[in-house]
Every structure is written in structure tokens, then in C-alpha cells.
Amino acid sequence: MSAAKHSQAMHFHARAGENVRNPVLQRALQKAKPLFVGKRAKGIAALADDGLEFEMLRTACEGIRNRTLADLDVWLDIFEERAITSGAEVLWARDGEEVGRLVVDIARRYGVTKATKSKSMLSEEAHLNEVLAKAGVRPVETDLGEYIVQLAGETPSHIIAPAVHKTIEEIEALFAKEHGRPVETRTSADIPDMTREAREVLRQHFLSAEMGISGANFLIAETGTAALVTNEGNGRMVTTLPKVHVVVTGIEKIVPTLEDFATLMRLLPRSATGQTISNYVSLLTGTKQPGDQDGPEKTVFILVDNGRANLLGSPYQDMLRCIRCGACMNHCPVYFSLGGHAYGWVYPGPMGSVLTPLYTGIENALDLPHASTGCNQCGSVCPVRIPLPKLMHQLREEQVERHLRPWSERLALKAWAWVAGQPVLYRWLTRRAVRYLNWLADDAGRIRIFGLAPGWTAGRDLPVASGRTFHELYKARK
Amino acid sequence: MTAKRDILGRVRGGVGKGDFAGRRAAAEAVLNARLRGPQPTISDGLIERFRVKAESLASTVDAVSDRKDAPAAVAAYLSANGLPMRVVVAQEIESLDWSGCAIVSAARGAVDSDQVGVTACFCAVAETGTLMLLSGPDSPATVSLLPETHIALVDTSRIVATMEDAFALLRAEREAVPRAINFISGPSRTGDIEQTIVLGAHGPCRVHLILIGISS
């Protein structure tokens, strides 16, 4: 599988350790988390002013996504037919490599030397920037966060805030180098100036690129339309100014009607950034019309599978409802301890812990389904009610069934299962174990260092229990 | 062609149902039913709600009683903000008397050097304080995109409650969707450097709305 080649998810353990000890990253993450959580909470609470509530809306959104997936073959057929009728071309790609080949072909056909890009996570799945550069096409990321990440030679660490891991000092160093000026001392007060500087540089790219590449937040079957939701306006630029517009998006992104889209838009921006609506919502259909002074002469949709179709009808189908809002990672204690790069592939956080093993192979991302405290904050904020902790559990079960767990864990579980089947031995052992734990505790009733597995208590204390087993306590009560 | 066949084959296998023609007909019926999800209850008047929401998204709002008064309001805004009296306007509002208010207007698509773009809008959405613009020969998408200042004339009779209502209006008045429908809610913004919100990322830094049909 091509995706597995690029995944670093097997190094999760090592990267997690490095990231926890990286003070610069930790500072950036600690600054961001309360902002994400607070903004969403405010946005969701404001629904009540209009007589709406979150649970009612998420039921509607979940229903739209489920109904589409239940007949996805039909909706794809309708979307393709209507997109073609409106003047677009529709291509299909089985995997990331095929996406790269198709985009390079289009670039060659239209003599493209530079492509401006609006944020597309699928183009990360396809390593499109790398492929374009090799083919002699300069890819320019234009979302400010993506631009920063591209200058740093990195990948996004968050699906809606790609540069959340970068501090202002790091960004200043990147801008000074790329924009050919000396490094200055920058504080938060300089952020408007820095944004202005990037605006001026990127404006020239917008005007000169021959091709614009975007993703799509949704594909609307009714009209054969790509829906693009942005705040910066870069999405509008790359779909208005270049002569060719290529939409690279997953086959699961379809919604049937404009009304369905309007319903989903009541939760997507609120879940992502707490906004009631994003600044720009663009619905793009076909190409430049007779008499139009702007717009692309050529519009191509590339509908990508890359593992998605296999989830239909599988125990993981719920994951295909995902609308990429980022709320799950914004509320995840694991994500905010490690940052997005620890996850090793395109999608971080809880949704990444489910998608990465499914799209790159369960055996290539063994740690990710375990990167969870089981707190279910992700599940409770998901606007399309994806049971993320349950899906991670299923993946863990599958690891066990396929004998993918380490031998030590398998042996320990076998031993446990045997002991649990011997009542006398079980009682004798557990009596000793709880007394040992009780003996470890300090005066405040907490275990500060757990001798058998000190890692567990490196960053926290373990509250101690009574020192008696459940059987003993139960007997005493009678 | 083979990629399409492969992918659709897998999708069909996953969906696991037969009778494609029957399901396709059912889907067409869904498209024609245009069912709406939960709708907001908007208690203020639509115009007031639109104004409050637009201002909360950092747009500024002015009002005039008649369309012919719009150029004077534009001129007042330009001089109050130290902007040049030279604007690019969408052709659909080219016939207003711009020169009578000492404004030099060019009716065309915008270019990089244009500092102020003036447009009308197809309609506006009260729920979120949003403009709905349709691209077309008389309303190029660049006029609301490239200049740093975007001024939009909003007919108050065209303010609807929700995005769904806006789509209903579109279906009633147009035969097909245009190349681009742009919903615009205030100036362009970014929060990508340390999650600090800055206005004027790539699109306009200022959005000024002139409501038409409000007698003073």
C-alpha cells in the first residue's frame, strides 16, 4: 500500500517521548488548547439563542452523512453526471500515487509551472507537493498555516490549524529567510505585520499561478458542486484566478442537497473554530461561463478512494461520516500532550488514531489505537457522532485477533486468563497484590513511585485502595 | 476508466445493495423534496438581525433610504477612511451616479492595484450576517476579493432568514447555479500565527455594507 510507505506511525512511541520533552512545542500547545476549547463551547452555547441545540443538530448531521454513505454508489453517480453537465471533468484515483499522476498530467497539458494550493489534507495523503516539484511544477501553499509549514519543510500538525506547533520566533525566522530580510525581534503585537508580509508575497503567487489546487469540504450531488469553507480567502483566490482548477477530494465527501449542506454548515464552523459561519463559503460549479470575466477555463474533480471504499459495510463505516472539523483533537488530552506530528501520518488526534491504521494498514500503526485515555471527550464533541473510542477499541481487538500485539503482552494476558480461572490461586494472589500496593503508599494515601512500572507514576500519583480485595470487602459486609 | 470501475465496484460491494435503478430514482426524489434540517427561530426583525450579526463579524454598516443615495454613502465612507475616490464597481451597479459624487468608477473585474471594490449582492442571510454573491458577466467574483476594501450594497427587501431561504430564492430566480456562489461574512481573517485573529489575510481587510431601503 502506497500510504504505508510514507507513514511514520510506527515511531509513535519514540516521537511521543521526544515531543513531551520539547519545551518549545509544549509552550505552543499549552497556549492553543484553552483557545480551541473555549471558542467551540461559546459557539455551541450560542445555538440556544436561535432555539437550536447541539444534540438536535448533530442528529440531523449524522443522518445526512449516514444516508449518503448507505447509497454512496448512487450519489457518486449523480454527482459525476451533474458535474460533467455543468462543464467540469471528473477523474478517479485509487490511491495517492494515482492522484499525483493525474495532477501532473493536467499540469503538463496546460503548461503549468506554478500551482497555488488551498488547504487539502488529501493532497497530503498523496504527497502532492513532492510529486509536483519533481515534475517541475512549483507548489505554493497559500493557507497561512500551511505556508509556514511548507517553508519549514514540515507537514501540518493539525487539520485546521496546520502550524499550531510553531511559535512566533520560529515563524519569524522562516519569514526572514524566505522573504530575504534580517530576522527581527517579534512579539504578539507584530502578528498583523507578519500576516501582511505573507499576504503581499502570496498575492503575487495567486496572480501568477496557472493552476489552483483545492480540496472540498463537501461535494453537493444535486448541483455537481464543490463546497469550500475558508476564513482567509485563499480558497477563493486559487479557485478564481488560475486558468485551471483541480479539486482533489475523497469519495466520501458527498452530501445530497444544498439544504443538507446548509444543515452541516450550522455545525462545521462551530465545531472547528466556534464561528457561527466561516468568512468565505464558496460553492463552485463547472467552469467560466460565457461573458464571465473571471473563473477557471478548466475545472477537474479528482475523486479519491485511497482506502475509503473498503470501510463501507465494515465495522468502521461510521468513520466515513467525518467532516474534518478537528474538534476531536482540540479536546484530546493525548493530542495536546504530544502534538500532531507524533501520530506520524496525515491525520492526528483521535480521528487520526482511527484513520491511519485503516488507510495505511493496522500492522503499520500499532500504537495509535492505544493513544487514548478513554475519556470520550472526542466522541462527545463530534458533530456527526462518530464513536471514536469505540472504533479505537475495535482496532485494539483486531490487533489481538491478528496476533499483532507484542509477545510479552500476549504472554501476560494468557497468564492472567489462566490465573482468573483458578479461584483459590486467584484469591491468594490478589490478596498479596493489594497488600503490596497498600504498603507502597505514603501517608497521604498516594503511590508516588510504582516499583513494577515506574513509568506509570512518572507524571502522576496513583491513589491507593483500601488494601483488601473485593472478595474480602464483600464478605465483611455480609 | 479502470480506476473508476475499480472504485465504484468496491463502493457497490461495501454498500451491498442491488437495484441500482430503483435506488437512483429514490435519490432523485430526495433531491426534489428539498427537505430542511432544524431551522433557527429568529426573533428580531430580519434587517436588525442581519445588521447585528454583520457588525459582530467586523463589518461596518450604513443605511440609506433609496438605491440612488448609495454613491453618496460610498463617497462619505471613502473620505472618512482616507481612501481614494476611485473604485472598481460590478457592472450591475454601474448605472448609479458615481461621478455625481466625485467618484471615479470603472465597471470591470478587479485587478491587483484596485483599492476599493463595490458590489451589490444576490441576497443576504440574517441568521449569520452573510452576503450571497453570484458570479456572472455583471458581477465578477474578483471585485469582492482583490481590493483591500469591499463595499456591498444590500437591498433590505433581499434579506432572508437562512441559507436555506437563500437557496430557495436562487432556485426561484435562476435556471442554474452560477459558476461561483460566494457567501461572504465580514473581512478575511486568519488565526494561524499563535491563534491570534488578524483581519485581512488574503481577501479584503475592510467590509462596509450599505443597507438600502431604510428611511432615516
Residue count of chain A: 478
CA A95, A100, A101, A107 torsion-angle sign:
positive
- B177–A225 C-beta distance less than 8 A: yes
- Give the mean model confidence (pLDDT) for residues A376-390: 97
- CB contacts of B58 in chain A (<8 Å) are none
pLDDT at B212: 98
Mean pLDDT for all residues in chain A: 94
- A93–B14 C-beta distance less than 8 A: no
Q: Is the Cβ–Cβ distance between B109 and A208 less than 8 Å?
A: no
- Give the mean model confidence (pLDDT) for residues A18-45: 92
Of A472, A142, A160, the residue nearest A151 (C-alpha): A142
Q: Is the Cβ–Cβ distance between A142 and A118 less than 8 Å?
A: yes
Enter the C-alpha cell of residue B83: 481612501
Residue ranges in A21-71 assigned as alpha helix (H): 23-45, 54-70
**CB nearest to A283's CB, from B35, B37, B177:** B177
Q: Is the Cβ–Cβ distance between A145 and A245 less than 8 Å?
A: no
- Give the mean model confidence (pLDDT) for residues A237-253: 98
DSSP secondary structure, A294-346, as one string: SS-SEEEEEEE-TTSGGGTTSTTGGGGG-----HHHHT-HHHHHH-GGGG-SS
The number of angstroms, rounded, from the C-alpha of A156 to the middle of its chain's C-alpha atoms is 10
pLDDT at A1: 45
* pLDDT of residue A2 exceeding 60: no
Query: CATH number of the domain at A60-309, please?
Result: 3.40.50.10420
Domain spans in chain B, listed from the N-terminal domain onward: 2-33, 46-212
- Per-residue pLDDT of A424-467, as tens digits, reads 999 999 999 888 888 888 888 888 887 777 777 777 888 887 78
**CB nearest to B27's CB, from A52, A75, A314:** A75
- Closest chain A residue to the Cα of B42, Cα to Cα: A50
- Per-residue pLDDT of A179-228, as tens digits, reads 999 999 999 999 999 999 999 999 999 999 999 999 999 999 999 999 99
- CB contacts of B178 in chain A (<8 Å) are 285, 289
Residue A194 has φ and ψ, to the nearest 5°, of: -65, -40
Domain spans in chain A, listed from the N-terminal domain onward: 60-309, 411-477
User: Is CATH 2.40.50.840 correct for B46-212?
Assistant: no
H or E segment and range at residue A90: strand A89-93
The span from the CA of B169 to the CA of B172, in Å, is: 5
- Closest chain A residue to the Cα of B146, Cα to Cα: A237
Between A284 and A471, the higher pLDDT residue: A284
Tracing cell 461596518 back to the chain, one arrives at: B60
Enter the C-alpha cell of residue B137: 458577466
* pLDDT of residue A5 exceeding 80: no
- Per-residue pLDDT of B48-73, as tens digits, reads 999 999 999 999 999 999 999 999 99
B198-199 vs B189-190, strand pairing mode: antiparallel
**Single-letter amino acid code for the residue at A135:** A
- B109–A285 C-beta distance less than 8 A: no
Q: Is the Cβ–Cβ distance between A473 and A466 less than 8 Å?
A: yes
- State how far the alpha carbon of B31 is from the alpha carbons of A75, A82, A218, A223, A256, in Å: 11, 12, 16, 10, 7
Residues of chain B below pLDDT 70? 1, 216
Residue B61 has φ and ψ, to the nearest 5°, of: -130, 135
DSSP secondary structure, B65-128, as one string: SSGGGHHHHHHHHHHHTT--SEEEE-GGGTTS-SGGGT-EEEES---TT--EEEE--SEEETTT
- CA neighbours closer than 13 Å in the CB half-sphere of residue A190: 14
pLDDT at A437: 85
User: Can you list the positions of beta strands (E) in A174-223?
Assistant: 211-214, 218-220
The span from the CA of A223 to the CA of A284, in Å, is: 9
- CB contacts of A103 in chain B (<8 Å) are none
The span from the CA of A324 to the CA of A329, in Å, is: 10
A370 Cα to chain B: minimum distance (Å)? 27
H or E segment and range at residue B152: strand B149-155
Q: Is A21 helix (H, G, I), strand (E, B) or coil?
A: coil
For the purposes of burial, counting CB atoms within 10 Å of the CB of A343, is it exposed (0-12), middle (13-18) or buried (19 or more)? buried
- CB contacts of B187 in chain A (<8 Å) are 279
- Per-residue pLDDT of A114-148, as tens digits, reads 999 998 999 999 999 999 999 999 999 999 999 99
**DSSP state, B203?**
S
A78 Cα to chain B: minimum distance (Å)? 8
**Best mutation target, B1, B7, B88, B127, to test chain A (most A CBs within 10 A):** B7
